[in-house]
Structure 1
């Protein structure tokens, strides 16, 4: 048996030991998935007056509550529907909807497409929104659900390995083991959705399925049938206690709502998920000790027992005989899980030399990366605009496919952050500040110098004069970290594979195209 107080006490101890790592992981999961929408509310929540503002410049997409209200109006024949939606009670409901739903949710993507289909079924906007629905479901299938498994893996490891890396949430991609856990998680979401229509059955199944991400994180090779069976067995006769465990966090959730989700990121999410990881390990330990059916599927004893140095050396010597991909590169990182002992190993082509994050980029490399990140930023923003809003929107004054603001920020990141790579949280905060200053300056210059407002964030909370807002700076900071730690080293590696002559001609070509675009934009302004 287990006690809530014991689990929560142990979880608080682990949160204290790995505080910044846990915060970073929970923040990434909240940002990259639709699982914890409350945690990002404080920097992305629409104001209640957003729908009445004049859209003289591009404004962010409608909030989820506005999308739902539009759907109700379109399918309702009652003349009083619009007045009812403007009532105080519906305003409160709008706030709750925006607090507990995510704009990237596949459900709300489908509602946006449905609304557009009713208004203008033959438009390109509707077509792009329909495509966006399929991409949203694909994102949930191949990314969101797998990241939840990665999050579970991180919290299981950090209990005994305090130096567990943040990138552990991407471990299934590194293993190139994607489809089986993605299918199991999809079935979990689908079955849960169907059971939710029965209300009581949905609550029961929520707790019955709650251990599936942890089971997959321990052994991704578990099939759908065994994953559901093990989760059912682990939670058997514990569902009421699981409900009471969730209820015990109600006070923290109320405080989190008062801070618009800020407290969720700083403490509540790591605390809750850490407690559930402790619960899984407790239930798992009892299940394995009893040799219950299918217990052999829970096959990662290193989560429970930390091997000594001698045990690691013996295991390494035995592993060398297997000629696996980690044979030559396995090492014993202090306070980190011995990955070469994991039950699933990546294919040899996936095991590559680590990226050189602290490398010093040459002038030609920086020049190339300026254009590469500018084009990448344009493609990203235009793609999101097309698929989410069904509109082709670019905040670049240039005609060509680049946003120089991205390139400028990228170069500043590579120059300033080179010696700070060991402090990712500090790098993230610095990128937020750097991007905020540059974006505010660019918007101010274009607004007062050229009388053009490129971007209007006035419909969001935590914005400054509509020129910058917290959500945008946080999103770019995440993208900037990805550029600094992953994209730039990889792009530079590919760039350096070219001969010096080809690199020079490539830079010349990019310069000519960029200069021509500037001249064309000036004459057509």
Structure 2
């Protein structure tokens, strides 16, 4: 079956446009790990320090020697100043400690000396470290790097037909329990290719001869290495030149990749190339099946390439369809302002019988969103897969993280997390400095920035609670905004600095840093999916109505503390840094 390159590229662009963000991310991960297109990250080498790194870039990337002057200019005038950028601090924090430790070789040196001491041999430590590094690298290459190339093909092949490709497709081989089988098949293919590469042209020929092995395994991971290699060789008979011409037709893109030091490959070429060769495989597969109908025993996954009949889907997903048709008991229970709060923030004023019915409904709906897309033919139907996928239900589903919260419950959660934040800050200072300090602007044991941060994550990100990855990313952004502008507000009002991340890795004006935001993001996830539901369950057992008075009392005390602290804020050694105060005092003195 002759391949029409123009039509194939058109379909590849359509596929890429539908899933651009996902495909670019998938290819970036592959390039970073060295699975494929590893040179895509060559531009990062420009920002490395040392002549050796730059020389390596010129050798590996094949950059024209005429660019040496440009590279040296960048190295001299830009890279030299990288270490002076305050946002890339490496003196404070866990991230900075890791950067320093890795950079100065402390960890390897420690293990080398330990091995030398135990074996009483000055060379043993180095040899053991080398052997360990080689073993880890080999295992990582076999079980992660190589198998990831097959997973990537699965992403692109599914995306040709389906509107949605789930991000958890990365776990495909684990769910079908074929990770070792695929790794072993790829290892066999690579061993054969390496042997052929010892000949003059064998490596080039066998590259195209074995080109379809990852695609075959992506469709049917039960295929052995021998079967996949033999099948790929047979299918590529008469098509190796066509595959080479496809690669040659992208020469202009590869030149652009070199000119942009790999940047264009990250955001277009890698994904475009993968999409094109996915189309190439589908065309070759169709022609091969037309000539060899018995090959359906290997290519037995038809709904990876075409939409399943609706009748077949309705039969396979009969139970799920019944559950999907259940009516949300709270859908029209709230109107006006109450409806606005419930729909957008999951906030209600009291727990009714409808609320409890809603939670039972939510329990059954938690796993149905993905199934709904499959029934609607927007996503690959896993129930029609020839190899059953084992998908465990969400472990935390029984906690009802998608629930609504009463105003009283939210208030109590705010005070609880404010107290937890205070304990966290006090404990850190006690461990690091050996003395107890009442942290925060207020005088009583609570830090409202933690309470507000958690409540904001709970309410403002309510619509993404059933999508944990988005919830986590948005939580980091939200916490960053809250912490940054809280710092700005406190310094503007009190002319005092209560915290500073200067010296922390990836900090922004000393107000926020990557390390802190990562902790807040993880803490926010734990709060949304574990802490808040558990505490809310406890509040309900006690009785929300009984806790109204407790929430009101805490609110009155909190407001009083805020008013008092506005005029007499908590400050001093261990509480504030004194930086802004010192600058202000010196400015007055100079004036």
Which TM-score tier does this pair reach, normalised by the shorter chain? 0.5 to 0.7
Larger Rg: 2
**CA displacement at 1:133 relative to structure 2:** 3.5
Other-structure match for 1:183? 184
Structure-2 change in CA distance of 1:130 and 1:430 (3 Å): farther
Query: 1:315/1:414 Cα in 2 relative to 1: closer, same or farther (>3 Å)?
Result: closer
1:336 correspondence with 2:337:
no
Counterpart in the other structure of 1:82: none
Shift of 1:151: 1.5
Q: Sort the Cα spacing of 1:338 and 1:449 in 2 relative to 1 into closer, same or farther, 3 A.
A: closer
Residue segments in structure 1 that go unaligned for 5+ positions in a row:
53-61, 70-86, 96-111, 321-327, 376-395, 401-407, 442-447, 458-462, 501-521
**What is the CA distance between 1:466 and its match in structure 2?**
13
1:442-521 matches, within 5 Å, as none
* Matched residue count: 417
Please give the alpha-carbon distance, in whole angstroms, between the structure 1 residues aligned to 2:453 and 2:198: 48
Contact kept? 1:216, 1:227, Cα under 8 Å: yes
Q: Return the alpha-carbon distance in structure 2 between the equivalents of residues 484 and 296 of structure 1.
A: 48
The structural deviation recorded for 1:185 is 2.0
- Cα distance change on mapping 1:8 and 1:313 into 2, 3 Å: same
Residue by residue over 1:156-213, the C-alpha shift from the partner in whole angstroms, topping out at 9 and shown as x without a partner, is: 1111111222322322223333211121123333433444344522222221222111
CA RMSD of superposed structures (Å): 6.0
Contact 1:456 1:467 in 2 (8 A): no
Deviation at 1:430, TM superposition (A): 6.0
Distance verdict in 2 for CA 1:452–1:298, change over 3 Å: closer
Q: Post-superposition shift, 1:434?
A: 7.3
Greater length-normalized contact order (CA 8 Å, ≥ 6 residues apart): 1
Give the match's secondary structure for 2:261: coil
Q: CA deviation at 1:234?
A: 1.6
Q: Give distance in 2, aligned partners of 1:483 and 1:452.
A: 19
2:154 matched to 1:153?
yes
Alignment of 1:268-307 (within 5 A): 268-291=269-292, 294-307=295-308
Unaligned runs of 5+ in 2: 60-66, 76-102, 116-124, 322-366, 433-451, 486-496, 539-573, 575-591
1:131 equivalent in alignment to 2:137 = no
Match of 1:45 in 2: 45
Contact 1:163 1:334 in 2 (8 A): no
Distance 1:117 1:265, change over 3 A: closer
2:240 and 2:217 map into 1 onto residues whose CA distance is 20
Residue 246 of structure 1: aligned partner: 247
Change (3 A) 1:450 1:433: closer
Is the alpha carbon distance of 1:410 and 1:68 closer, same or farther for their aligned partners in structure 2, counting shifts above 3 Å? farther
Q: 1:300-339 counterparts in 2 under 5 A?
A: 300-316=301-317, 332-339=375-382
Q: Which residue does 2:437 correspond to in 1?
A: none
Query: Is the Cα–Cα contact under 8 Å of residues 181 and 222 in structure 2 kept in the other structure?
Result: yes
What's the CA shift for 1:464? Answer: 9.4
In 1, Cα distance between equivalents of 2:484 and 2:316:
55
Q: CA deviation at 1:123?
A: 6.0
Distance 1:9 1:283, change over 3 A: same
Deviation string, structure 1 residues 274-321 (Cα, Å, up to 9, x no partner): 11111111111111111266442011111232123223224456999x
What are the superposed Cα offsets for residues 421-448 of structure 1, whole Å, 9 maximum, x if unpaired? 689998798678679999999xxxxxx9
2:189 and 2:523 map into 1 onto residues whose CA distance is: 33
Q: Equivalents in 1 of 2:242, 2:522: separation in Å?
A: 40
Q: Quote the residue 2:442 is aligned against.
A: none
Structure 2 length-normalised TM: 0.53
After superposition, the Cα gap between the structure-2 partners of 1:358 and 1:342, relative to the gap in structure 1 and judged at 3 Å, is same
Q: CA deviation at 1:35?
A: 2.2
- Taking a change above 3 Å as real, the CA distance of residues 482 and 174 of structure 1, as seen in their structure-2 partners, is farther
User: Aligned to 2:161, what secondary structure does the other structure show?
Assistant: coil
Q: Secondary structure at the match of 2:389?
A: coil
1:380 alignment counterpart? none
* Matched-pair contact (CA < 8 Å) for 2:8–2:280: yes
Whole-Å Cα distance in 1 between the matches of residues 508 and 50 of structure 2?
A: 19
User: Hey, what does 2:333 align to over in structure 1?
Assistant: none
Structure 1 residue aligned with 2:163: 162
Shift of residue 339 of structure 1?
0.8
Structure 2 distance, partners of 1:465, 1:197, is 56
Counterpart secondary structure, 2:47 = coil
Aligned to 1:159, the other structure's residue is in SS state: helix
State the distance in 2 between where 1:179 and 1:34 align.
Answer: 17
* Range with greater deviation from structure 2 (268-277 or 308-317): 308-317
User: Residues of 1 paired with 2:319 and 2:475: CA distance?
Assistant: 45
Distance 1:254 1:425 in 2: 36
The change in CA–CA distance for 1:450 and 1:432 in structure 2 (over 3 A counts) is: closer
Kindly indicate whether the alpha-carbon contact (under 8 Å) linking 2:316 and 2:383 is maintained by their aligned counterparts in 1: no
Describe the shift of the 1:354–1:437 C-alpha distance in structure 2 as closer, same or farther (beyond 3 A): closer
1:345 partnered with 2:345? no
Distance in 1 of aligned mates of 2:473 and 2:320? 41
Q: Which moved more, 1:261-270 or 1:191-200?
A: 191-200
Cα offsets for 1:194-249 (capped at 9, x unmatched): 44344522222221222111111111111111111111112122112111111211
**What is the CA-CA distance between 1:154 and the residue it aligns to?**
1.5
In 2, Cα distance between the equivalents of 1:189 and 1:51? 35
**Paired residues of 2:502 and 2:509 also in contact (CA < 8 A):** no
| Cα distance in 2 for residues equivalent to 1:482 and 1:176 | 29
> Partner residue of 1:215?
216
